[in-house]
Amino acid sequence: MLRQNLPGASLNPAALAAPAGALALLAVTAAPAAGGVRRRAAGRPASRPARSGHRERTSGTGDPADGLRVDGLSVETAAGDPVVEKLSLHAPPGEVVALVGPSGGGKTTAVRAVLGLLPPGLRQTGGDVRWRGAPVPSGQAARRWRRTHAALVDQDPAGTLDPLQTVGKAVLDGRRFPAAEADARALLASLGLDAGRLWTRRAHRLSGGQAQRVALARALLGDPPLLVLDEPTSGLDPAALDLVEQALARRRASGSVTVVISHDRAFVDRVAGQVHELGPPAAEPVRAVGGGARASGEAVVEIDGLVLRRGPGLLLDGAELTVARGELVTITGPSGYGKTTLLRALAGLHPPAAGQARLLGRPLPWRLDGRDRAALRAVQLVAQDPAGALNPAHRVGTALARALTRTSGVTRRRALAEVPDLLRRVGLEPALAGRRPGELSGGQRQRVAIARALAARPVLLLADEITSALDAASAAGILRLLADLRAEGLAVLLVTHDAAVAGTSDRVLRLHDRTLHAHVPDEPARHERTPARWESDDRA
């Protein structure tokens, strides 16, 4: 990731690719909770048949000493601010437990406390965590316990993969038990990835959705009795989401315990036997937002004959695209087909094999070093991986102020004065300006990345899955913000797998068969992938 994102420093000099700390498996996520903990009984509605392999279980069945039991778990910051308040749950063998709630509500902190992984600056102030009747140990003993009992798929899976390591080595992760490679290849296939093509491919060449599934396969190898998944569905297309649900069904049938953090309520309703809500109640879901009416229909960006390659693979062959002032155009399609690469090409980070681009009627060089300051400011990218795009050493206020000074030319004093307004625009409290990215939730990091892009006052915003890490209320707030900016003339090119988000667009294009097609409203929502298409499904 470090090497992949170095060219982006000149696109937005305030953004330096995260150093080795962002590649660590255990990324720190801690944010104060805005409210208490509520629990609601869940499970699939009785009218919906269980999927094959699922067994309906509730916390009232089985031996109480089995599985995972959390009683009154409370976590505070060093300053005494509550993060998690009196969380209690019991997950017997075969249970899937979901933690839901708004970004910054303490979900990630809660599961890290359960696993004995609280970062510096946080402390457990109350409660008890037991696994199969015995207390979960702390310190070095906790590390040994996790090796044999638990696995974690972090919220930023791409950041946990060594970018220069092959997929095969990443999944095996040093394990050499008999049939380990065969099992690893089978796991990749069960998650919709062609192990034959991906096995020797380096991790930095994976799309976000592919990296998500590779990290999941690594965690599933060896069938850990306790599996914790932090936002496992963000960035996945519907077909890949189906396969993840099937993997969880197999864990239920085998008697394993799974804890899931997710903002996707539909996914939670399908897979979880019980749901615990942390933080204030979720607000309204994403709904259609009034678009920014185009004042003149003037084209902001025009692309002709675009040919994109990734290594020897052909991603786009002669694509054409126009986005007008105030227009929101969404690109959908299966993971790995080149959606992110298209955005990176427009951002100057992936020069195409052929094609021309024009920005406000003037030629737009494909390479960053060919763009003048006005062009660098005019086109801004919000990447799919905010943790990897934000410098972990810089406080939020510093990152935003640097973006303002280097793209708008204002003084540092003036830039720092504008930081609170930038944070408010994306729904964040100005007090967060003093925190570093590792002290924010995933959703908060995503909104900081959006604020940094908006600091440049672009005319074209390239948004890659910008709502995938957000709860429904935060996502709706970001879409309202985009609608306001579109009314002022901002053009937005958005990549998403979320049908509700795509429904807010002026136009939806589907990337398929190496070109862009107009969306057909009644086409099947879930794309069936076949081995014939896997050949191009391994390139971001």
pLDDT tens digits, 384-420? 877 778 888 999 999 999 999 988 778 999 999 999 9
Domain contains 355: yes
- C-alpha span between 226 and 95 (Å, rounded): 10
Q: Are residues 292 and 266 in the same domain?
A: no
Write out the H or E segment, with its range, that includes residue 481: helix 472-487
Q: Are residues 352 and 269 in the same domain?
A: no
Among 278, 294, 312, which residue terminates a domain?
A: 278
Strands 328-332 and 491-495, how do they pair?
Answer: parallel
- C-alpha span between 244 and 240 (Å, rounded): 6
Domain contains 446: no
Among 278, 297, 330, which residue terminates a domain?
A: 278
Identity of the residue numbered 375 = A
Q: Are residues 324 and 213 in the same domain?
A: no
Domain contains 422: no
Which segment of 6-15, 270-279, 445-454 scores lowest on mean pLDDT? Answer: 6-15
Q: Are residues 120 and 255 in the same domain?
A: yes
Domain contains 432: no
In this predicted structure, what is the pLDDT of residue 78? 86
Strands 257-261 and 226-230, how do they pair?
Answer: parallel
Q: Are residues 246 and 203 in the same domain?
A: yes
Estimate to the nearest angstrom the gap between the alpha carbon of 103 and the chain centroid.
12
Among 253, 278, 303, which residue terminates a domain?
A: 278
Termini Cα distance of the chain: 13
| Res. 103 pLDDT band, cuts 50 70 90 | confident
- What interhelical angle do 180-190 and 208-220 show, nearest 10? 140
* Confidence check: pLDDT of 312 > 60: yes
What are the distances in angstroms from CA 385 to CA 5, 28, 103, 397, 453?
11, 15, 16, 19, 14
Overall pTM > 0.85: no
Q: Which CATH number belongs to the domain containing residue 240 in this structure?
A: 3.40.50.300
Domain contains 28: no
In this predicted structure, what is the pLDDT of residue 261? 94
- C-alpha span between 253 and 55 (Å, rounded): 6
Place of tokens 């099947």: 524
In this predicted structure, what is the pLDDT of residue 34? 36
Residue-wise pLDDT tens digits, 446-461: 889 999 999 999 999 9
Q: Where are the beta strands (DSSP E) in 311-442?
A: 313-324, 328-332, 354-359, 362-363, 379-382
Whole domain around residue 344: which residue ranges?
286-391+457-534
The answer to whether 516 and 509 have CB atoms below 8 angstroms apart is: yes
Q: Are residues 103 and 239 in the same domain?
A: yes
CA angle 452, 453, 457 (to 5 degrees): 110
Estimate to the nearest angstrom the gap between the alpha carbon of 503 and the chain centroid.
20
- C-alpha span between 234 and 267 (Å, rounded): 11
In this predicted structure, what is the pLDDT of residue 55? 32
The domain tally of the chain equals 2
| Res. 281 pLDDT band, cuts 50 70 90 | low
In this predicted structure, what is the pLDDT of residue 38? 40
Which segment of 111-125, 234-248, 517-531 scores lowest on mean pLDDT? Answer: 517-531
Q: Are residues 81 and 124 in the same domain?
A: yes
Residue-wise pLDDT tens digits, 343-376: 999 999 999 999 999 999 999 999 999 999 899 9
Estimate to the nearest angstrom the gap between the alpha carbon of 276 and the chain centroid.
21
Q: Are residues 298 and 240 in the same domain?
A: no
Q: Are residues 91 and 71 in the same domain?
A: yes
The answer to whether 96 and 271 have CB atoms below 8 angstroms apart is: yes
Q: Are residues 198 and 80 in the same domain?
A: yes
Domain contains 237: yes
Domain contains 427: no
Domain contains 258: yes
Q: Are residues 79 and 153 in the same domain?
A: yes
Q: Which residues pair with 277 in a beta bridge?
A: 38, 100
Q: Are residues 156 and 234 in the same domain?
A: yes
